[in-house]
Amino acid sequence: MTKNGILNPQLCSAIAGAGHTDYFVIADPGLPIPEGINVIDLSLVRGVPSFLDTLKAVSGELVVESYILAEEMKNISPRLHDETCSVLQGLPHKYVPHEELKQLLRRAKAVVRTGETTSFANVILVCGVNF
């Protein structure tokens, strides 16, 4: 058992196994995930765990070099957009249409499913290296 940080063994394993440029996704429960992708389902009930709590925990452990958001998030969920960018402050990012983001999931090393029900509560974290 770890002293601090993430306790979920499946999530710890996925983070430890992530390599440079891998896609590591944090998603709402409605995002369609392609078959064959490692899904770590943390969803319990609506809102638990939240997207932001999950993002904070994962980004505290995972080396992230950039991230990708759906363009629609800016206008449809502006508060969540701003909070997401604040958590990942200083990292380069880009926007793609939501349909393209769903296609990018095919490259995901892992998808962490949250209980968040805010629209477009999804982010692709592009893994970096710590050296």
Q: Is 131 annotated as a binding residue?
A: no
Q: Is 81 annotated to bind ligand?
A: no
Return the pLDDT at 4.
83
The parent domain of residue 40 ranges over 9-127
pLDDT the model gives residue 3: 74
CB hemisphere CA count around 39 (13 angstroms): 18
Supply the pLDDT for residue 119.
97
- In which band, very low, low, confident or very high, does the pLDDT at 67 lie, cut at 50, 70 and 90? very high
The count of structural domains within the chain is: 1
In a domain, 4, yes or no: no
pLDDT at 1: 65
Percent of the chain with pLDDT over 70: 99
How confident is the model over 22-29, as a mean pLDDT?
A: 98
Q: What is the mean pLDDT of residues 70-77?
A: 98
Q: What is the mean pLDDT of residues 77-100?
A: 98
What is the reported pLDDT for 93?
98
Q: Is residue 113 part of a domain?
A: yes
Residue 80 falls inside a structural domain = yes
* Residue 81 falls in the annotated catalytic set: no
Residue percentage of the chain with pLDDT more than 90: 95
Which of 2-6, 58-62, 115-119 is predicted least confidently?
A: 2-6
Can you give the CATH number for the domain in which 77 is found? 3.40.1650.10
- Whether 121 has a binding-site annotation, put simply, is yes
What mean pLDDT value characterizes the chain?
Answer: 96
pTM higher than 0.95 for the full model? yes
Selecting among 5, 8, 20, 34, the annotated active-site residue is 20
